[in-house]
Amino acid sequence: MPPALRTVHVTRYVAPLREGGSLPALVEADDGFLYVLKFRGAGQGPKALIAELIVGELARALGLRVPELVFMELSEAFGRTEPDEEIQDLLQASTGLNLALHYLSGASTFDPLVTTISPEEASRIVWLDALTLNVDRTARNTNLLFWHQELWLIDHGAALYVHHTAPDWAERPGGQRRFLQVKDHVLLPQATALAAADAEGHARLTPDLIEGIVALVPDAWLTEPGRPPAAQRADYGRFLTSRLADSHLFVQEADAARPGLV
């Protein structure tokens, strides 16, 4: 079962990280460490945090490296003292429970032209991103960091994008959803071991593990009107289980897209 996430409190707002539309921030917490804070009050709301949490812990369960995820409490006081109006609004809208990733100080952005990774690791990452419909791992924005000579995965808020659609998004069988964006995946040319990654994924991502990861999502982030948090968690579990059951379809899709890239 996945471990429970620690909860820390923001003690110092260090600097905004002006990347994309979510305006994450570098902050210090009461445990003395620096974190990249993802705000529940940002443009895509708490669903981006849900995707970040679920996909990050799925990646960890697959043996991939992800910075530690923590729940982070943001005090109302930070919004009152911030001089930048845009950041002030974001802080005020995010009072309460947010999500943060341990800051990998000194990490460099992964460059596929400079660094080569093994087909096995590339395949596990492509398989995970196809499973979770992660559209944000392209050459333009790899969301991969190289730190201490190892590859680390970050920024999964754009995954599971179907939960931004209609309230019944989880009713459609996950395996029937094509993932055409896999052709743009930065690691697809090296992902020549997808069959092995698929077998490993099925062995590691058991129904109990998926249920345990989904159970980590706090009630405060499950804001779908008229649906209790337990029902919304069940949606994520049902979608992932369904997509996993039909994983051979997205593996075939990825394998078919690779010859045009290499």
Residues 126 and 233 both lie in one domain: yes
Element (H, E) at 11: strand 7-16
pLDDT of residue 113: 87
Least confident span in 15-29, 95-109, 133-147, 216-230: 15-29
Whether 210 and 253 share a structural domain: yes
For residues 94 and 121, membership in a common domain is answered with: no
Average predicted confidence (pLDDT) for the chain: 92
Q: Which two tokens stand for residue 213?
A: 């990861």
Based on the fold, state whether residues 207 and 190 are members of the same structural domain: yes
Residue 138 lies in a domain: yes
Choose the final residue of a domain: 64, 87, 102. 102
If one compares 86 and 198, the residue with the highest pLDDT of the two is 198
**Of 107, 109, 108, 100, whose CA–CA distance to 33 is shortest?**
100
In a domain? residue 2: no
Please, which pLDDT band fits residue 59 given cuts at 50, 70 and 90? very high
Examine the fold and report which residue of 102, 119, 149 is the final residue of a domain before the chain moves on. 102
Among candidates 243, 147, 131, 129, which has minimal Cα distance to 186? 129
Yes or no: say if 58 and 247 are a contact pair by the CB < 8 Å rule: no
> What integer pLDDT is reported at residue 121 of this predicted model?
98
pLDDT band at 64 (very low <50, low <70, confident <90, very high): very high
Q: What is the pLDDT of residues 170-184, one digit of tens each?
A: 887 666 688 989 999
Asked if 130 and 222 sit in the same domain, the reply is: yes
Strand partners, 38: 99
Query: Does one domain contain both 31 and 86?
Result: yes
29 CB contacts (<8 Å, ≥6 apart)?
8, 9, 10, 11, 35, 70, 72, 100
Q: 12 and 90 in one domain?
A: yes
Q: Is residue 222 included in any domain, yes or no?
A: yes
How many domains does the chain divide into?
A: 2
Burial of 59 (0-12, 13-18, 19+ CB in 10 A): buried
Whether the predicted pLDDT of 35 surpasses 90? yes
Instruction: Give the pLDDT confidence score for residue 185 in this predicted structure.
Output: 96
Whether residue 253 sits in one domain with residue 196: yes
| Mean pLDDT to the nearest integer, 218-242 | 95
Domain end call among 102, 128, 156: 102
Domain that holds residue 173: 108-260
In this predicted structure, the answer to whether residue 88 has a pLDDT above a threshold of 90 is no
Q: Return the DSSP state at 4.
A: P
* Residue 164 domain-assigned (yes or no): yes
pLDDT tens-digit readout, 110-131: 998 888 899 999 999 999 999 9
| Length of the chain, in residues | 262
Is 91 or 214 the better-scoring residue by pLDDT?
Answer: 214
Average pLDDT over residues 233-250: 95
Which residue is it, tokens 């460099």?
108
Residue 202, in any domain of the structure: yes
Q: Say what the pLDDT of residue 208 is.
A: 95
State the pLDDT confidence band at 85, using cuts at 50, 70 and 90. confident
